[in-house]
Structure 1
Amino acid sequence: MAHCCLGGLAEFLQSFQQRVERFHENPGVRELPPDTYISRTITLVNCGPPLRALAERLARAGPLESEPAREAAASALDRVTRLCHRVLADLLFQELQPHFNKLMRRKWLSSSEALDGIVGTLGAQALALRRLQDEPYQALVAELHRRALVEYVRPLLRGRLRCRSARTRSRVAGRLREDAAQLQRLFRRLESQASWLDAVVPHLAEVLQLEDTPSIQVEVGVLVRDYPDIRRKHVAALLDIRGLRNAAARHEILAVARDLELSEGGALATPRDRAFFADIPVPRPPFCLGLPLLLGRLPLSRLSRPGLTCLPRPRPTSPARPRAQL
């Protein structure tokens, strides 16, 4: 009896999953007032825990042959939850994006306006999310926590700021620490369990502010250990931001990231919910043509011009489209 009921429940949940997907794909649904759309999405998510509990009870009461049906039921509910979480997060971050666009600019150094907007918007929207049942709420808040920190760090590593002095580095590092503390307090209020995110911005601040190469190497080592999906390109971008141009020092620091990448196996072992730097692309550095290549093509008077031998990396050429036959 339990086996038959579980099979029927699994079929129903697969149909439910498809209907939820069609609901969110419907262009007319996106025209609903945001509060209505959010409320309906939360209702769909809240269907999950009791149905999941029912499937588990039926599986325990049934024979071993019930396991495939239980897995099918769980898979359908997981898909519904992930889709609805993505919808809710996307709606929230659309509202947050203007505030993130103000980060890492000159005004950001002297004003908390951008972060106050982020914290205020997240705090206000969290009131609606409290209607979620506990399990989906915790999963969503953890993802919001991760995504908020990713969006905070992204403009930093994209090179929106450049530090030209130790004083500027100190100011930027101090601002990063203040913002990190404010975000940490916010997500503690929201009961986020993703505490692994709390240290990422303070680590970046330390790399910016430290002066001697060995100390920077140690901090980079800790950063790579705690966030194994970080890559040398991220560390190199951070060194660019702090204005470190000494080739020997850069090589020593980047070697730490390289060695730990090789020893830890890199981001291949990083679960999706623990990915961080993998979601932050950084600009590709220019490549420099060697002097022997240029000597035969350019007059010596032009070789002394700064930036002459550094060119943007070429983009891969797309295959040529076949010409239309007339």
Structure 2
Amino acid sequence: MSLTMDKSGEGPEEDGVSLRSDGKTSPNGSVREASGLLRSFRRSFRRTPDKSPASARSKGSKVTSREEPAGEEEFFLSPPSPSPSSSSLVSSPLKTIGGVFNKKEEDSPDVVPHKHKPLSRSKTDPNMSKLGESFIKKGASIRRSLRFGSKKENEKTNRPEVLLTTSEGLVEKMEEEVEEELEEMEEVYNLPDIPHTPLSVMQINKLIEMEVLEEAHLNLLALRLEFQKEQDRFDQDCPMELSKKEKDLNLLYMDLRTKIGTIVRDSNSLPARNKPLLVFVARIIQEEEKRSAEPGGLPDSWMEAWREAVCEGVQVKVNSVHLEHRDKNPSWLAVHLGLLGNAIVEDLQNVKRDLRWSYPPSFRVFSSYVRSYHRVVRQHLKKLEPQVTDLKDLFALLDWILNKYKSEKIMMSLSLQPDMTEENADLQLEENFLQQLKDKYCCKVKEDMKITLERIIELENETFWRDRKEPEKEETFLISPFPMDIWTKVKGTVQNSRKLESEVEQKVISSCIEELKSFPRRFESQFRSQCGALQPRPLWTQYQITYINSFAALLDHMDGYQDSCPNEVEGFRREVKWLIVRLMQSLEDQFKEDIKVYLRRMMTRKWLTNDEDFNHLRSRTQKLSQDCDLMRPPQAQDFASQLHHHVAKEYIGHLMRSNYSCRNRKHEKAAAKIRRQWSELSDLFEEMKSTQEWLHPAGDDLSNIIGQKNKTDIKNHLQRLVQHYPDFSRKHLVALLYFRGLQRGHEHQVILQRLAVLKKETGVADGNRSHVLFGDMQVTTNTDCLSSLPSSCLSLLRDS
């Protein structure tokens, strides 16, 4: 074989270079021969085979071919066709390394010239291997001759020493050039000539098995044409031969479709192996879609079968994503979904970068893969859903569906742009699946909240109740840590749900607070069960104050969700307030029980001469003041106000029970003592920030009446008492006069008449119900019947 070339590869011939059969070159032409051969070699790389099964003149090629002078190409003959007929197609030209080399068929009486591009096979052709080895050996021979040539020879020719790259480097350079020239495969193509006589069924089947798809399909078309002609000839009659041929056609077409489905399915997993075949796959599908109405083919759509194959390939990809068992890894689902997202992006990048160039635009390859991922991932998630039971896993699944899948992390990845711009990035789930998943998440939130609250009660018992440990203080107030624990739990859950969707956030808030509604009663029940035996010890009081403060603080935290779910918050508020009322009532009852014995001896002869009982009362009230200092406002004020009113009513109430009557001028000493003691009690409750300031004047008003030396002057001091306490009535005045020592007589009646006039002038019969002190006081009725008679009746009795 000889090659003739000028210096530029285009001008007239200057030197001749002859290659010997042993691969050596003459000393005078080694560099020039190598240079020309390399130019031819590179140009042969650029002339990549057409992707279309059409002839070399068709425009369905993915890589633009460049015309070269005929003298610069090297030709190879293909082996004879397996067809028994001399007019049948010869077998395809052998593929060279990477599917790069082309060859032209020589005119021969034994070979029918082909006008379409060579067939591509995934199997390694032995002839191709020999060809590649031969070419590499010749290249090696040239390199040896260049490298070991004498320096004098190089100087003599005045040419620099040329270093040739290895065949691998040339292939890499070729691949870069080819990739730069990638173009979209054209929609229109020219079908190669269909053989006049098809191969046998066994031969066609063998071609399908060997993935020689173009030749197999052309012979199938020839067989199908024969069948159609015979069918027209026999018309309605269906001889056995025709029936057998139809059956053979169906079986071959099924085999071809199965093979195509396998190639398409594996095309993105094995791109190097199956990519060249996809060009023939696309043209076969196009041709069969055109001939779908003709008899002899398959009834189902080939395009639809292609989409199903794409979907199967996606299914294989998704199934291959690693999935650990939930017992081995607590984060099994989050890890799996992360790997799944990466696999989707990588696969679609492959489609965008390489795979789509093997198909015409009508196939919409990228869109088909995107839709397949939507479909397969939807089925995959539905299969995973029953295994997802933990709250964190439900959150991970919802977050992946609602946020990550359609974000820049997966479907809207920058590496998939701009192809993804026109695609729908949302995951199309089955109807009600997403809603069921959200409901399941909210139910799990509620269950998780219930478990948390139960654990809080257990922790309170383990930390304080069981060992009778004193509660902790925050600043100067007693409080337990559980309100902050609950609030942190609710806040974290709500914030996580906010990342998912506003609708989910709303339901999560509702679920959390709904579960909280039953917490105050459960807590109180356990508290009284575990600590009831402590009553009335000081530790019992401390615990109660602690939980008054704690539940009030918890309610303040939950009030922040008033706008989101007002009904649930109102229900929780009602439960907390009733618990606080019960705890405060328990403290009040305990205090009332403590001071009951001392109040019982007020306004007696012993009280007038001894301060022991009052000192105990004052001591207990001072202890109450210390307890109020441990209680947060406004509960401390409410508590102090309630007990202020109780102590005032009970202290004065003993004046109304006619236990003692101050005679022989003892009323002055009693009035002074009432004034002093009442002032001390008022000061104590004022320190506790009691809101019952209206009680303060009662001591002075009563002391003024009791301490008057002249009985006639008593009526002049009634006005202030009636103004301050409109509920002061006639029976209360009778009892007060009895304590003063004035039980009957003219002055007694005058004082009672004065009260009646004052009550009439004020226009309030029973007093203002907002400030009730005397109205619900127990009054002992005087059994002395003469005391209730008018003075005129008494005078008549005396005269008689």
TM range (shorter): 0.7 to 0.9
Q: CA deviation at 1:3?
A: 6.3
Inter-CA distance 67–230: structure 2 relative to 1 (3 Å threshold): farther
Residue of structure 1 equivalent to 2:730? 232
Q: Which amino acid aligns with 2:533?
A: E
Residue of structure 1 equivalent to 2:779? 282
Inter-CA distance 192–3: structure 2 relative to 1 (3 Å threshold): farther
After alignment, is 189-198 or 81-90 more displaced? 189-198
Could you tell me how far apart the structure 1 residues matched to 2:512 and 2:754 are?
A: 56
Say whether residues 1:152 and 2:651 are aligned partners. Answer: yes
Q: Report the TM-score, using the length of structure 2 for normalisation.
A: 0.32
Q: CA deviation at 1:9?
A: 6.3
Residue of structure 2 equivalent to 1:141? 640
Say whether residues 1:43 and 2:546 are aligned partners. Answer: yes
Inter-CA distance 6–210: structure 2 relative to 1 (3 Å threshold): farther
Q: CA deviation at 1:233?
A: 1.8
Residue of structure 2 equivalent to 1:270? 769
Inter-CA distance 13–133: structure 2 relative to 1 (3 Å threshold): farther
Alignment map for 1:1-326 (pairs within 5 Å)? 7-8=510-511, 11-12=514-515, 14-19=517-522, 22=525, 29-33=531-535, 34-59=537-562, 61-62=563-564, 66-165=565-664, 167-210=665-708, 216-244=714-742, 245-246=744-745, 247-256=748-757, 258-259=759-760, 263-264=763-764, 266=766, 270-271=769-770, 274-286=771-783, 288=785
Contact 1:232 1:258 in 2 (8 A): no
After alignment, is 238-247 or 28-37 more displaced? 28-37
Could you tell me how far apart the structure 2 residues matched to 1:156 and 1:199 are?
A: 16
Inter-CA distance 5–31: structure 2 relative to 1 (3 Å threshold): same
Inter-CA distance 243–47: structure 2 relative to 1 (3 Å threshold): same
Question: SS at the partner of 2:648?
Answer: helix
Inter-CA distance 17–110: structure 2 relative to 1 (3 Å threshold): same
Contact 1:235 1:257 in 2 (8 A): no
Contact 2:603 2:660 in 1 (8 A): yes
Contact 2:671 2:707 in 1 (8 A): yes
Inter-CA distance 11–162: structure 2 relative to 1 (3 Å threshold): farther
Contact 2:625 2:685 in 1 (8 A): no
Q: Which amino acid aligns with 1:169?
A: H
Could you tell me how far apart the structure 2 residues matched to 1:50 and 1:214 are?
A: 58
Q: Deviations over 1:3-48 (max 9, x none)?
A: 656655664564244346646876x854225223212211221123
Segments of 5+ residues of structure 1 without an aligned counterpart are 290-303, 305-326
Could you tell me how far apart the structure 1 residues matched to 2:511 and 2:765 are?
A: 43
Q: Deviations over 1:231-258 (max 9, x none)?
A: 3322221122223323531431331464
Q: Deviations over 1:204-238 (max 9, x none)?
A: 11121235678544533322332233333222211
Inter-CA distance 219–119: structure 2 relative to 1 (3 Å threshold): same
Q: CA deviation at 1:68?
A: 4.3
Could you tell me how far apart the structure 1 residues matched to 2:589 and 2:723 are?
A: 30
Contact 1:232 1:257 in 2 (8 A): no
Q: Deviations over 1:70-127 (max 9, x none)?
A: 4433332332222211110111222222222332122322332222111112213432
After alignment, is 111-120 or 30-39 more displaced? 30-39
Contact 1:216 1:253 in 2 (8 A): no
Could you tell me how far apart the structure 2 residues matched to 1:21 and 1:239 are?
A: 49
Greater length-normalized contact order (CA 8 Å, ≥ 6 residues apart): 1
After alignment, is 137-146 or 17-26 more displaced? 17-26
Inter-CA distance 11–43: structure 2 relative to 1 (3 Å threshold): farther
Number of residues paired by the alignment? Answer: 280
Q: Which amino acid aligns with 1:44?
A: Y
Q: CA deviation at 1:265?
A: 5.9
Could you tell me how far apart the structure 1 residues matched to 2:761 and 2:513 are?
A: 45
Could you tell me how far apart the structure 1 residues matched to 2:516 and 2:722 are?
A: 41
Could you tell me how far apart the structure 2 residues matched to 1:215 and 1:3 are?
A: 72
Could you tell me how far apart the structure 2 residues matched to 1:257 and 1:25 are?
A: 52
Question: SS at the partner of 2:666?
Answer: helix
Question: SS at the partner of 2:518?
Answer: helix
Inter-CA distance 20–225: structure 2 relative to 1 (3 Å threshold): farther
Contact 1:89 1:144 in 2 (8 A): yes
Question: SS at the partner of 2:620?
Answer: helix
Q: Report the TM-score, using the length of structure 1 for normalisation.
A: 0.73
Inter-CA distance 91–3: structure 2 relative to 1 (3 Å threshold): farther
Could you tell me how far apart the structure 1 residues matched to 2:598 and 2:779 are?
A: 20
Inter-CA distance 251–266: structure 2 relative to 1 (3 Å threshold): closer
Could you tell me how far apart the structure 2 residues matched to 1:252 and 1:179 are?
A: 31
Inter-CA distance 248–125: structure 2 relative to 1 (3 Å threshold): closer
Q: Which amino acid aligns with 1:234?
A: H
Contact 1:229 1:275 in 2 (8 A): yes
Inter-CA distance 98–213: structure 2 relative to 1 (3 Å threshold): closer
Q: How large is the RMSD of aligned CA atoms in angstroms? A: 3.2
Could you tell me how far apart the structure 1 residues matched to 2:719 and 2:682 are?
A: 23
Contact 1:224 1:260 in 2 (8 A): no
Inter-CA distance 129–250: structure 2 relative to 1 (3 Å threshold): same
Q: CA deviation at 1:282?
A: 0.7
Question: SS at the partner of 1:152?
Answer: helix
Larger Rg: 2
Q: CA deviation at 1:176?
A: 0.5
Q: Which amino acid aligns with 2:689?
A: E
Contact 2:637 2:689 in 1 (8 A): yes
Could you tell me how far apart the structure 2 residues matched to 1:243 and 1:10 are?
A: 63
Contact 1:228 1:264 in 2 (8 A): yes
Contact 1:157 1:237 in 2 (8 A): yes
Contact 2:759 2:765 in 1 (8 A): no
Could you tell me how far apart the structure 2 residues matched to 1:68 and 1:287 are?
A: 60
Question: SS at the partner of 2:655?
Answer: helix
Percentage of identical aligned residues: 22
Contact 1:13 1:76 in 2 (8 A): no
Inter-CA distance 136–254: structure 2 relative to 1 (3 Å threshold): same
Inter-CA distance 214–80: structure 2 relative to 1 (3 Å threshold): farther
Contact 2:661 2:738 in 1 (8 A): yes
Segments of 5+ residues of structure 2 without an aligned counterpart are 1-501, 787-796
